[in-house]
Amino acid sequence: MMIGELTWRTSAGFLEDFLNGDVIASNDGMPESGASLVQLIRRERDNPGVTVPAVAEPLLVWIVSGQAQVSEREGAGEWETRLARPGTFYLTATTTPYDMRWTLAEGKPFTVMHIYLALTLLDDAFRLCHGIAYAQGEIDDVAADADPHLDKLLGWCWQEVAHPQKGSGAILAGALKSLAVYLVRHYGRARGERGTARPHALPAWKLQKVKQHLQANLAAPFHLPTLAQMCGMSSWHLSRQFKQATGMSPSEWFIHQRIQRACRLLRETSLPVIDIACEVGYASHSHFSQVFRRKTGMQPAAYRRR
């Protein structure tokens, strides 16, 4: 086909022709596994840039081994770069082509699993979880994120494709059906309906982990890199996704929790203000009073008397 004739759409089975990886295993020989396509792919060299055609089925990519810096962009937009490492996943459900490039860590190959879920599975999952057809729904795009519950299902799929045995196709069929329901339940919704879910917001389990850590350490200095390491992501991405999920940056949320705790101590105890300041991480009475007034509109002593 000549370049001038390209429509930049293809079918799931031919997408890898554009990405130049080596398919080392797939479920092609497991008809009982259904219409979904599962491929294990080994990438042994960097890719300076490629336009990825759109496919009808959402694509789920799970990093099995190795690492790479992966960059993506749509149209003439800016490149967004993330570290793809074992246990992270990408979820793409776009109807338009996009650009992609990657650099292997230390020049070492990495292995990924591609899953193209059958549209019939997605339709059943949307009807079950949202009471609508797949055509009336949409799925969030996710890039280099981690989900421990999803990991279990993906590990199940990987095991049956990488080391097939008698009955592997039937087991894989059940895993893929469960996978479709899980993805639609946690990353899908009615088209155009955002509700409390926000694209690229921090996943609920990571958000809870960060909040619990901050609440348990109100007296300690705020340290964003520690939170980012807990979530397996960069400080910049954590800060952005935390704000998309809560409306506040991690540091703003931390200060808010400190002041909420201070308000409770001022109302419910007779502790001196300086002791309360220390309790919520402020060594200086004046600094605590300054932050408290900025957040509540009054000094700590005045708040206590109110």
Distances (CA, A) of 203 to 45, 85, 263, 304: 31, 18, 30, 38
How far is C-alpha 19 from the geometric centre of its chain's CA atoms?
23
Amino acid at 70: V
Q: Which of 49-58, 107-116, 219-228 has the lowest mean pLDDT?
A: 49-58
pLDDT in tens, 147-194: 888 899 999 999 999 999 999 999 999 999 999 999 999 888 888 765
305 pLDDT band, cuts 50/70/90, is confident
- Please tell me which residue, 122 or 200, carries the higher pLDDT value: 122
Q: Which of 168, 164, 162, 248 lies closest to 202 in space, CA to CA? A: 248
CATH of span 204-305: 1.10.10.60
Residues 181 and 261: their CA atoms lie apart, in Å, by 40
Which H helix or E strand runs over 99? Answer: strand 98-104
Q: Which of 135, 243, 136, 131 lies closest to 193 in space, CA to CA? A: 136
pLDDT in the model for residue 198 = 45
Mean pLDDT within 16-43:
87
Tokens 């999803």 — which residue? 150
Distances (CA, A) of 144 to 15, 191, 272: 20, 24, 47
259 pLDDT band, cuts 50/70/90, is very high
53 pLDDT band, cuts 50/70/90, is confident
pLDDT in the model for residue 12 = 66
Please say if the pLDDT value at position 114 is more than 90: yes
Average pLDDT taken over every residue of the chain: 86
Q: Where are the domains of the chain?
A: 9-190, 204-305
> According to DSSP H, which parts of the chain are helical?
16-19, 119-130, 148-162, 168-187, 204-216, 224-231, 235-246, 250-268, 273-279, 285-296, 300-305
Please say if the pLDDT value at position 71 is more than 70: yes
Most trustworthy range by pLDDT among 95-109, 165-179, 199-213, 217-231: 165-179
Yes or no: say if 143 and 90 are a contact pair by the CB < 8 Å rule: yes
SS3 60: strand
Mean pLDDT within 101-112:
86
5 pLDDT band, cuts 50/70/90, is very low
- Please tell me which residue, 77 or 126, carries the higher pLDDT value: 126
216 pLDDT band, cuts 50/70/90, is very high
pLDDT in the model for residue 197 = 43
Q: Is 29 left (phi over 0), alpha (psi -120 to 50) or beta?
A: alpha
Dihedral over alpha carbons 240, 140, 39, 68 (to 10 degrees): -10
pLDDT in tens, 115-151: 999 999 999 999 999 999 999 998 888 887 888 888 9
pLDDT in the model for residue 255 = 94
98 pLDDT band, cuts 50/70/90, is confident
Q: How many residues does the chain have?
A: 306
Residues 295 and 260: their CA atoms lie apart, in Å, by 10
- The token pair at 199 is 């694209």
> For domain 9-190, is the CATH number 2.60.120.810?
yes
Yes or no: say if 293 and 285 are a contact pair by the CB < 8 Å rule: no
Q: Which of 14-23, 47-56, 196-205, 292-301 has the lowest mean pLDDT?
A: 196-205
